A and B are shown apart, each in its own frame.
Chain A
């Protein structure tokens, strides 16, 4: 007999608004990821099971769930059977739509607060030639630009749990990425946006966001730096106002 893998998947029925853990058993396959297992269940045992997935290679950010209690991408997590059954649940801190699918629409809107774009109209740059950016300058944005917007950090963040209006870890890291970009020319506008009521001040530096990040972005550090930059920005703004 082939060895079996047991998965407990949290099912949520939006019509009855009830949830329960349902156990499935499937044949073990070497190197099987949790996503492989869940797809296998959907294909062969229960086609009503609802989950998101696409790339299978940890880059599209679709398949975030809570696996054995921790936020993780299903495609990047292997079925370790020696630890007993694997529990798969929907991400925390979001309304559940159905089974493993949560509603991230509102959280996605926080990226707007980051003003994640350059504005180089001042530079009259032409499209004939590149603008120089040294490898050292590029290195400054290397880590903070790795975010795949999978929302695991929002699921791990206790502040988001209390205040869904908090800009949140990924959007803050994204803002930091543009602020550190040698091509950026709108730092003041962006800092205005980040130092609003639900901006960077809300972060209490628990650091869970950085622990769960599948791309090692370290939003917690980005947020601490943004707070320092924020203090300087607000002070400067006050001084300028007084002078006027």
Chain B
């Protein structure tokens, strides 16, 4: 390879948002040199684990306004309504686009697209492909990229730095994992699509790769993070290991049952029952468990997800993955026994602050997918909006970046050589460094801290303690000693870099959570149980200033829907 590889557009991350962005850019301009830098093969990206479906108002009985209102109410009125309006308007065309590319959506008898019910959605509007929707989407998108000769992939390359000069982005420094060699890529635009940071938590539905790398890289490059306090806890993860049991299980008619055999949601969400929004159902489950109405087990208390009344055939047809997971990992046939479930970390509503063009405050730097925060999700995302989000805004990012690139001329690369040398020195120092701390030990303390101190319920004292622990862990990371000294596929080194990202993002999460002295959406302060629109109808924005985190506020955009009491 040449010393510096020239690209027009670099995309970091190869999940749904990244691949959609790449295809969009390639369609705008087939001559663009597009590169996708991903630490895994794109089909390993966590999009693959998404199960239930993706929302769009495609049926005659539905309307864009209804989808927008449901989303805004679901967000506890913290979503930016201009972004939500754009989102619902462009959702349908993306579903159809995916269909044209061969994505095998599930069908009604007459061959039209099938839809199912989802939490917080007032009508059936979730399109799906069995309960492997993300799997089908990521493979369809991946396969589509093979058609475009100007999309070059760098699989299993770990990006360590986004380089910038006074005019904006200049490129990316990344390590080829199989050689350990660092390499410089120049680019006129960069789109970050690296997903969320769920692995800050121990009990999470997220795959091991979801370590928030892109959020951290963008933050260090000068972009802001927004609304980091809002972490979604999915109500139904397999109690033993946190593996996701899709909301579609309730969409198709499943019940949540406590130890006394009661459908307890009648005491919390009598109208919506199992189809309430995730934040409220997760809190209801925790209340039941706290009141002693959960089941006890060595791996924690849980409640039952009962699908028995749906029957074997419906389960096999519409929920095959739920069946597979329950049978493989819990030894349970859901047609015969209820599934033990409990809430687990699932989604990062916050992320890299972008405008409606997916631009960050750094010129040429874009972000799309779970990694960004526009915000269409506000304080709580509705299930099945995120896959649509990846498509709609992945496309926006790809198109905007491609259009902007055509106005730019190539940049000098002298500064990139220096950046490459600096990164080489950093990695070499990390490999040689002596100390008493270990990567797994720090990681496990971080996970425990985030679970305990920044979980579903929070209060000032727990958050302060949590922050202190994370700051200590950041110090400890300075004294870590890696046992693996080799360059070739050094997973301990990669884990160490990921840990650095997560400790910073965890700090941002807790600082934002401390500042938000109210309860809204997924953010529940035991010491401030009510929503406070007077003081907190705001976004929190975190920016790097003199090596410290600076926290400021930004207004929420309201177009047509005034905040109201959020009752279901």
With both beta carbons as reference points, the residue of chain B lying nearest to A111 in the complex is identified as: B146
Residue-wise, chain B 121-165 has the 8 Å CB interface mask toward A (1 for contact) of 000000000001001100100011011000000010000000000
Q: A57-B329, A130-B96, A132-B111 are in contact. Are A97 and B488 (CB under 8 A)?
A: yes
Does A48 contact B41, Cβ atoms closer than 8 Å?
no
Quick one: CB contact mask for A31-53 with B, threshold 8 Å, 1 for yes? 10100100000111011111111
Known contacts A131-B100, A135-B109; decide if A47 and B440 are in contact (CB<8 Å).
Answer: yes
Residue pairs across A and B with CB atoms within 8 Å: the count is 168
- Using Cβ atoms and an 8 Å threshold, which residues of chain A touch B492? 47-48
Interface flag for A183 (CB, 8 Å): yes
A128 at the interface (CB under 8 A from B): yes
- Whether A60 touches B146, Cβ cut-off 8 Å, given contacts A127-B97, A129-B96, A131-B99, is no
Stretch at the interface among B42-50, B184-192, B305-313, B527-535: B42-50
Residues of A within 8 A of B222 (CB): none
> In the assembly, what is the distance between CA of A130 and CA of B59, in Å?
11
Select which of B95, B100, B321, B440 is within 8 A of A43 by beta carbon: B440
Q: Do B109 and A108 touch (CB < 8 A)?
A: no
CB distance from B419 to the nearest CB of A (A): 27
CB–CB B111/A135 < 8 A: yes
* Cβ of B280 to closest chain A Cβ, rounded Å: 26
Known: A42-B440, A56-B241. A127 touches B93 (CB 8 A): yes
Task: Tell me which residues from 304 to 334 in chain B have a Cβ below 8 Å from any Cβ of chain A.
Answer: 321, 324-325, 328-331
Residues of A with C-beta under 8 A to B439: 47
- Please determine whether B111 and A137 come into contact, CB atoms closer than 8 angstroms: yes
CB–CB A128/B96 < 8 A? yes
Would you call B486 and A116 a contact (CB within 8 A)?
no
| In the complex, B489 has a CB within 8 A of chain A | yes
Question: Cβ of A129: which chain B residues have Cβ within 8 Å of it?
Answer: 96
Which one, B155, B325, B491, contacts A57 given CB within 8 A? B325
B363 at the interface (CB under 8 A from A): no
Interchain CB contact (< 8 A) of B46 among A33, A54, A131, A135: A54
- Please name all residues of chain A whose beta carbon is closer than 8 Å to the beta carbon of B330 when the two chains form the complex: 31
Residues of A with C-beta under 8 A to B491: 42, 49-51
* A interface residues, tally (CB under 8 Å): 66
| A interface: dominant SS | loop
Asked whether A111 and B208 contact (CB < 8 A) given A56-B241, A97-B178, A118-B100, the answer is no
- CB-CB under 8 A from A120, the residues of chain B are 100
CB pair B136–A55 under 8 Å, yes or no, is no
**B262 at the binding interface (Cβ < 8 Å):** no
Closest residue of B by beta carbon distance from A126? B96
CA distance A168 to B489 in the complex (A): 26
User: Are A59 and B146 in contact, with the CB atoms below 8 A?
Assistant: no
Provide the residues of chain A in CB contact with B438, threshold 8 Å: 47
The residues of B that contact A194 with a CB separation of less than 8 Å are none
Inter-subunit contact B328/A76 (CB<8 Å)? yes
Contact of B110 among A46, A112, A132, A145 (CB under 8 A): A132
* Distance of A9 from chain B, by nearest CB (Å): 14
Which partner residue on chain A sits nearest B488 by CB separation?
A14
A130 touches B489 (CB 8 A): no
A44 with B440: in contact, given A14-B488, A31-B329 (CB under 8 Å)?
yes
**The 9 nearest A-B residue pairs measured at CB:** A132-B111, A54-B207, A116-B143, A48-B484, A43-B440, A127-B93, A55-B207, A118-B102, A134-B111
Q: List 8 A-B contacts (CB under 8 A).
A: A14-B486, A60-B44, A118-B102, A131-B99, A133-B107, A134-B107, A134-B109, A147-B139
